[in-house]
Amino acid sequence: MQVIKITPRGYCQGVTHALRLVKDTIRNHPDEPIYLLGMIVNNQLVNQALLQKNVSLLDNSKTKEEWLDTIDDGIIVISAHGVKPALSEKIRQKGLKVVDATCQYVAYGQKLVLSYLAEGYEVLYIGEKDHPEAQAVVGIAPRRIRLITNAQQLSELGPLNEKLLVTTQTTMNYQTIDELFTLIKQNYPQALILDEICSATRRRQQALYDLNEALDLLLVVGDPSSNNANKLLEIGRHKAIPRVELLSCVADLATIDLRDIKKVGVTSAASTPTYLTDQVIKYLQDHPRGKIPSLDLKQVL
């Protein structure tokens, strides 16, 4: 079996920054309760590894506001996806310590939207409905920011403000976004369009679009909640690769039939630890029909 290692893959700068901040917080505040306000990055194994270090994850069983109502002391870690300004203000009003791990590109996108709202613009934000980054941006001003997820929604909008800003979640499929931009330009020529897909997302997607290998199988190592991973899956399917699979770690290979696979490509999401992808690659190279190695959560961080 030939293994094609698609690069770049793995952590982006924003994820590296967020994890460094949370690990520093754990090390520097061993006696204080630490709460992750949602998944620090979209990878469940990373969050499981952090939970082993006595960090509490404030999950989706309650809203972020409801979780904050239950906390009176300790350190709140804002994830790489950011939060809406009102939530940041609530944390400060409660007197809680804050570690803001928001990705710099995500933070820039929020500031951009805020600045144009202040100038009277209406905003179309292209993103995923349930993604925390999109929720944070739309939450800035729900009556003035419309979340767009597909072309059908665009066709149903009707007339919009002459001052119209169009911008994006950082982890979207850039070719799909370009198609939506074309429709927006046709229907709303007054629109100011600002593409905020981050460079790390674009490079990972471009590497897959440019791949000329005739793969039998594409493996995307990443979490099901990762928009970055799901867009790589979309691209693999668009390229008509015979089989495209998402796996969170090497253990998932037990469910994938590798017989008759002569050439496999491996890539990974921007929130996937190198350790997880390396385990997959090593197994495919050395032991394609051998025992699948165990996962060491300590190595994930």
DSSP state at residue 70? T
Catalytic residue among 32, 65, 89, 133: 133
The encoded tokens of residue 134 equal 């999109």
Pairing of strands 192-194, 164-168: parallel
**For residue 293, is the peptide bond before it cis, meaning its omega torsion is within 30 degrees of 0?**
no
Q: Which run of H or E residues covers position 99?
A: strand 97-100
Q: By the 8 A CB rule, do 270 and 225 touch?
A: no
Q: What is the distance between the alpha carbons of residues 119 and 89, in angstroms, rounded to a whole number?
A: 22
Look up 179 and say whether it is catalytic: no
Task: Spell out the SS3 assignment of 190-229.
Answer: CCEEECCCCHHHHHHHHHHHHCCCCCCEEEEECCCCCHHH
Query: Which residues are part of the catalytic machinery?
Result: 133
